[in-house]
Each structure stands twice: as C-alpha cells, then as structure tokens.
C-alpha cells in the first residue's frame, strides 16, 4: 500500500481488541461485535461525549486527559461485555471482591463499581510500573555499582529512569504477547487495523480486501503508550529533586502534562503526512510488531462488521 493511497482519506474511527471481539468507535456510534457460541453478537449504542457537557474538556492540552480516562472506562466496560458473551466454562470464577460488591449492591450499581475498581487498579499498576519502579531501580542500580545516587547529576537520573520506563513497557508487552489468550487478542487488534486501512483506501470491505492490508497503523492507541513514555523523558527533565519520594511525587504530578502533550502529538501525526509525522509515528509502528498479530478470516469478519456499524451515513463526516 502506498502512502499516497492511504493519505487520500483518514478516518476518525478507531477500535479496541476485545475477548474474541472488537470495539469500534465512530463519530456518533460505538459498536461491540464478539464471536459467541452461536455466531456474532452485536451491541450498538449512541456515543455521549463528556465535552458536550463540559466544553472545557474539549480544549487542546486538556482534552487528552479527559479522553484517556474516558477510553479506560469505556474499554473496561467493553472487555467486561465481551467476556460475558463467552461460554460459562470459559469465563472463570469471579474474585472475592467482585462477589462482595455483587452481594451488597444492586446489579447496575455493582457493575459500575466493579468497572471503577478495575480502572483504579489499572491506574495504580501503571503508577507503580512507570513512576515508583523506575526511580527505585535506578537508585538500586547505582548502589550495586558502588555509586551514590545522591552524587549523580539529576539529568543523568532523569535519563536513566526514562530508559527504564521504555524497557519496562517493551518487556511487559513482549512478555504478555506470549500468552495464548493475549496472542488471540493481538490478532483481533491486527484485524481492527487492517479493516480501517481497507476502509480508508476506499475499497469494499470484504475479507479478501482486508486481508491484504497492513496491520501497522499510525493512529493506534497502543502506540500512544510508547509516545507517553518517550514524552515523559522530556517532561520529567524539569524535575531537579534528588530525594526519591519527592521525585516520585513530582513525576506523578507531571503525568497529566505528559498525557496531554502525547495526545496532541498523536492527533497531529494522524492529520499530517510528512517527514516529521513519519518520524514521530515510527516508534509506535515498531511497537505494533509486538501488539498486533495476523488475524484469521473469522477475526476479519468481526472487524468488518464492527466497522460497518459505525460508519456514518453522511460520507466523509468521520474524516480525521
């Protein structure tokens, strides 16, 4: 596929791989399509944007954090729904916390609480991996080599911690990509990318046409994670504190800034096709060698159906 053919149209439609399914979000609607025991299971709903209620959350450098949090919540809801479509023997037993919540709260409220807890735990895990752990590992590394981190220059500390963050992200992705269920999830991720590429090229959405497309897409949410880690190196360079707990606190306080800048960079890259956008989007495409796999025809069928459900009636209204 040539760059010229791709750049003829960029859609704002994006997706997320689920458990044997795909979530697609268009300008007006969101669709979840999963492969259940009796065929495809579909769920279509109108989108409600928080910026419509609070316009300030749609402003540049503010919208990034709002969209990121909204994506986490919606993604967790979609994952939960896709898991519920699987046969009971494949769903697994709920943990003790989920059982306690379901026992003490009404069904609808319990589901919201379970999703809220899952999102909160995901954020806490990310803070541990990318804020706490890098600072501690760098301090430990200097001690092992007989150096006192208090005597090391602050710019060097910031750089070392940034390298550790990149290593943690790549190592984590490479590790989970070996898990059987995750391999299937990443294949659905590849199907999502391929179907969007096919749509952007103006080709008919058939299994044959989609199969020919690339699974590496420049506007990918997983790529956003890598951009966040790289941008954090630059933003955290303003931190001059040496004390470890204070460094962690400052890194934590700077996270909204990192997310905001990273979102604007991703958004700009998606709207432009030049040497700078190619350079900025290249690391994300490299990461997709880990986070996407080649899908089978059944996965492609799921992606096509999910995409068809969210394509707006007015042609071109979903342009990036």
Residue 319 within any structural domain of the chain: no
Residue 62 within any structural domain of the chain: yes
What does the pLDDT read at residue 27?
Answer: 92
What does the pLDDT read at residue 93?
Answer: 64
Q: Beta-carbon neighbour count of residue 68 at 10 Å?
A: 17
Q: For the segment 157-207, what is each residue's pLDDT rounded down to a tens digit?
A: 999 999 999 999 999 999 999 999 999 999 999 999 999 999 999 999 999
Mean pLDDT (the chain, rounded): 87
The more confidently predicted of residues 217 and 210 is: 210
Residue 214 within any structural domain of the chain: yes
Residue 317 within any structural domain of the chain: no
Residue 316 within any structural domain of the chain: no
What does the pLDDT read at residue 170?
Answer: 92
Residue 304 within any structural domain of the chain: yes
The 3-class secondary structure across 198-215, one letter per residue, is HHHCCCCCCHHHHHCCCC
Domain extent for 78: 3-310
What does the pLDDT read at residue 1?
Answer: 40
pLDDT higher than 80, residue 114: no
Q: What is the mean pLDDT of residues 117-144?
A: 90
pLDDT higher than 90, residue 75: no
pLDDT higher than 70, residue 108: yes
Q: What is the mean pLDDT of residues 280-299?
A: 91
What does the pLDDT read at residue 90?
Answer: 57
Query: Pairing relation of β-strands 14-18 and 21-25?
Result: antiparallel
Radius of gyration over every alpha carbon of the chain, rounded to an integer in angstroms: 21
Backbone angles phi, psi at 17, to 5 degrees: -75, 140
Number of domains the chain contains:
1
What does the pLDDT read at residue 4?
Answer: 39
pTM of the model: 0.86
Q: What is the mean pLDDT of residues 281-305?
A: 93
Residue 318 within any structural domain of the chain: no
Q: Token match 């859609």: residue?
A: 11
What does the pLDDT read at residue 149?
Answer: 62
Burial (CB count within 10 angstroms: exposed 0-12, middle 13-18, buried 19+), residue 241: middle
Residue 320 within any structural domain of the chain: no
The more confidently predicted of residues 96 and 39 is: 39
pLDDT higher than 60, residue 37: yes
Confidence of residue 91 (pLDDT cuts 50, 70, 90): low
Listed in sequence order, the residues at least 6 apart from 253 whose beta carbon sits closer than 8 Å to its beta carbon are none
Confidence of residue 282 (pLDDT cuts 50, 70, 90): confident
């Amino acid at each position: 596929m040539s760059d010229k053919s791709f750049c003829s149209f960029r859609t704002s439609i994006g997706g997320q791989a689920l458990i044997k399914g795909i979530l697609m979000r268009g300008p007006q609607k969101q669709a979840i399509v999963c492969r259940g025991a009796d065929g495809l299971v579909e769920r279509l709903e109108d989108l409600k944007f928080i910026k419509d209620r609070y316009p300030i959350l749609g402003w540049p450098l503010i919208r990034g954090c709002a969209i990121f949090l909204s994506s986490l919540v919606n993604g967790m809801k979609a994952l939960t729904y896709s898991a519920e479509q699987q046969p009971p023997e494949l769903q697994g037993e709920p943990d003790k916390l989920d059982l306690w919540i379901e026992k003490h709260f009404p069904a609808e409220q319990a589901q919201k609480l379970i999703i809220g807890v899952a999102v909160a735990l995901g954020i806490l895990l990310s803070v541990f991996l990318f804020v706490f752990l890098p600072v501690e590992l760098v301090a430990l590394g200097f001690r092992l080599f007989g150096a006192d981190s208090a005597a090391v220059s602050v710019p060097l500390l910031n750089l070392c911690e940034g390298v550790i963050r990149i290593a943690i992200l790549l190592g984590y992705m490479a590790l989970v990509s070996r898990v059987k269920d995750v391999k299937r999830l990443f294949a659905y991720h590849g199907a999502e990318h391929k179907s969007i590429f096919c749509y952007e090229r103006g080709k008919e959405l058939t299994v044959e046409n989609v199969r020919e497309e690339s699974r590496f897409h420049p506007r990918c949410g997983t790529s956003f994670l890598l951009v966040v880690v790289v941008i954090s190196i630059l933003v955290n360079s303003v931190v001059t504190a040496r004390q470890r707990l204070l460094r962690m606190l400052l890194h934590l306080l700077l996270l909204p800034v990192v997310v905001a800048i990273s979102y604007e960079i991703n958004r700009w890259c998606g709207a432009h096709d030049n040497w700078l956008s190619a350079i900025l989007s290249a690391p994300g495409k490299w990461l997709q060698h880990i986070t996407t796999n080649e899908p089978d025809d059944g996965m492609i069928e799921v992606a096509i159906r999910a995409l068809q459900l969210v394509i707006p009636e007015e042609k071109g209204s979903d342009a990036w």
